[in-house]
């Protein structure tokens, strides 16, 4: 998954597609920030967005502006104020989700079915709130949560942990430990444009190649059924009674 997909990172988004495309094809998700820093996508961005749609097999909503509008906390300190959903009230949360989905629909032809909160801080973007805006799963650091309430654990490699490069290396090491000691958990390689500026691309590439050698197949979450609205409960009056287990 590539976070922070926005026109200001056009070169980095294209570079990830160029380097990782031969390894995983289009089985990469682009977590799009449709109004980075308050500047919404516009017609001038269409060539870039068309390449994103062509090179990345799925689009997720990654907040709206990415930056927290007011207030600060420990996460803000480490993330340079990029924990957008923290500090938003319910009305502003809904407004930003609605605007984000509207912009994605305008420029990608459809809204996102999944959500990734900036810095994994969901705030009031709960599964129920996201479902009202057409998104039925959210990806966190430790797992995926569906609007049905179902949760799936994941092991996450992530390099963009902090402006402090030592902490970025620790993010990678934690991913390695999770993968080693939780071998049955779904692995998730999480990328950011700043990974290229910090020269982590060789390590990222080696991580992907290692997973491929282990027999892992690159898959989009949608191919596992994520993003679908929960099935409506069956009308019990129309379901015949089950045969008691001892009847046979």
In this predicted structure, the answer to whether residue 248 has a pLDDT above a threshold of 60 is no
pLDDT of the residue at 162: 77
Q: Are residues 88 and 69 in contact, defined by beta-carbon separation less than 8 angstroms?
A: yes
Tell me the C-alpha distance between 36 and 196, whole Å.
19
* Angstrom distances, CA of residue 210 to CA of 153, 179, 213, 215, 219: 20, 12, 5, 9, 16
What band does 19 get if pLDDT is binned at 50, 70 and 90? very high
13-32: average pLDDT: 97
- Extract the tokens encoding 86: 């923290």
Which of 5, 13, 85 shows the shortest CA–CA distance to 41?
5
**Calpha distance 34→5 (Å, rounded):** 8
Residue 65: both structure tokens together: 């502006």
Tell me what the pLDDT averaged over the chain comes to: 90
pLDDT of residue 50: 98
Give the domains, in start order, of the chain with CATH numbers: 2-247 (3.20.20.370)
pLDDT tens, residue by residue, 106-159 = 999 999 999 999 999 999 999 999 999 999 999 999 999 999 889 999 999 999
pLDDT at position 236: 43
Burial class (CB in 10 A: 0-12, 13-18, 19+), 102: middle
Task: Give residue 193's Cα distance to chain centre.
Answer: 14
pLDDT the model gives residue 65: 96
């Amino acid at each position: 998954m590539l976070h922070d997909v926005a026109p200001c990172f056009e070169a980095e988004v294209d570079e990830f597609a160029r380097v990782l495309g031969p390894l995983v094809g289009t089985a990469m998700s682009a977590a799009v920030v449709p109004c980075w820093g308050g500047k919404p996508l516009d017609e001038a961005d269409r060539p870039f967005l068309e390449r994103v749609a062509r090179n990345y097999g799925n689009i997720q909503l990654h907040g709206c502006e990415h930056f927290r509008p007011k207030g600060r906390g420990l996460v803000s300190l480490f993330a340079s104020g990029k924990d957008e959903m923290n500090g938003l009230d319910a009305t502003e949360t809904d407004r930003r989700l609605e605007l984000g989905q509207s912009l994605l629909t305008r420029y990608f032809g459809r809204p996102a079915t999944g959500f990734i909160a900036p810095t994994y801080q969901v705030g009031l973007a709960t599964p129920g709130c996201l479902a009202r805006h057409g998104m039925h799963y959210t990806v966190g650091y430790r797992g995926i949560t569906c609007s049905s309430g179902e949760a799936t654990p994941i092991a996450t490699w992530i390099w963009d942990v902090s402006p402090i490069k030592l902490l970025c290396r620790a993010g990678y090491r934690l991913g390695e430990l999770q993968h080693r000691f939780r071998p049955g958990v779904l692995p998730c390689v999480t990328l950011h444009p700043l990974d290229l500026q910090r020269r982590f691309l060789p390590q990222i590439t080696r991580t992907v190649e290692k997973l491929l050698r282990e027999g892992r197949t690159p898959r989009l979450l949608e191919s596992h059924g994520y993003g679908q609205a929960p099935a409506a409960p069956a009308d019990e009056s129309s379901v015949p009674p089950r045969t008691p287990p001892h009847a046979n």
